[in-house]
Amino acid sequence: MKISSSFLDKVLPTYGNQRGNIPIYDSTQKMFLSNTYTSESGNMYYKGLRFSERLVMVEHIGLYKNWTYIDEVEIYAFDGSQMTLIGKKKFDKLFYDTGTIKNEVIALTFDYLKTQMTLSGGTGSDETLKELTIGIIEDTYQNSIENIKRLPESTRLMLN
């Protein structure tokens, strides 16, 4: 990423101006937090962003009273210039559980990859494809801050 005055204005704005919506890395959740806001009723909402070299996973999370819920999860693939939504699942105020979310994301990604393999005339066993899918999803949960450095700038900008 090139350092320019517009970049610096977003990250370190002049006094009195609001900073741009820059995702913040939360090491306890191993994901970037973005679009954080508090509703009039006092509930907090945010997007959790997980990255790998192949996928971007966006979790829509709500904190209501003392409970954390998952409202929605979106999965994007990118080709270096644009992101494409490959799966999306809405939840009805489901208690936040990493294992449940991970299983849903694996199922959505597996379905997408299986469809793409069929459309392209590819062959392979479901077990092999499932192993590949699990590996791709696990990469997003390893989400070290270094993963974002590998993303093209165009993809990083689309996430804000």
pLDDT digits (tens, 9 = 90+) for 146-160: 555 555 555 555 555
By C-alpha distance, which of 138, 80, 151 is closest to 109? 138
Question: Per mean pLDDT, which range of 1-15, 30-44, 119-133 is the poorest?
Answer: 1-15
Q: Mean pLDDT of all residues in the chain?
A: 81
Q: For residues 5 and 64, what is the distance between their CA atoms, to the nearest angstrom?
A: 39
Angle at 92 between CA 97 and CA 137, to 5 degrees: 40
Q: Per-residue confidence at 59, pLDDT binned at 50, 70, 90?
A: very high
pLDDT of residue 100: 94
Contact 110, 133 (CB under 8 A): yes
Q: What is the DSSP letter of 129?
A: H
Residue 146 token pair = 């270094």
User: Taking phi first (over 0 means left), then psi (-120 to 50 degrees means alpha), and beta for anything else, what does residue 127 get?
Assistant: alpha
By C-alpha distance, which of 63, 1, 66, 76 is closest to 33? 63
Contact 31, 60 (CB under 8 A): no
Q: For residues 14 and 50, what is the distance between their CA atoms, to the nearest angstrom?
A: 30
Q: Per-residue confidence at 1, pLDDT binned at 50, 70, 90?
A: very low
Q: What ranges make up the beta strands (E) of 65-150?
A: 67-78, 83-95
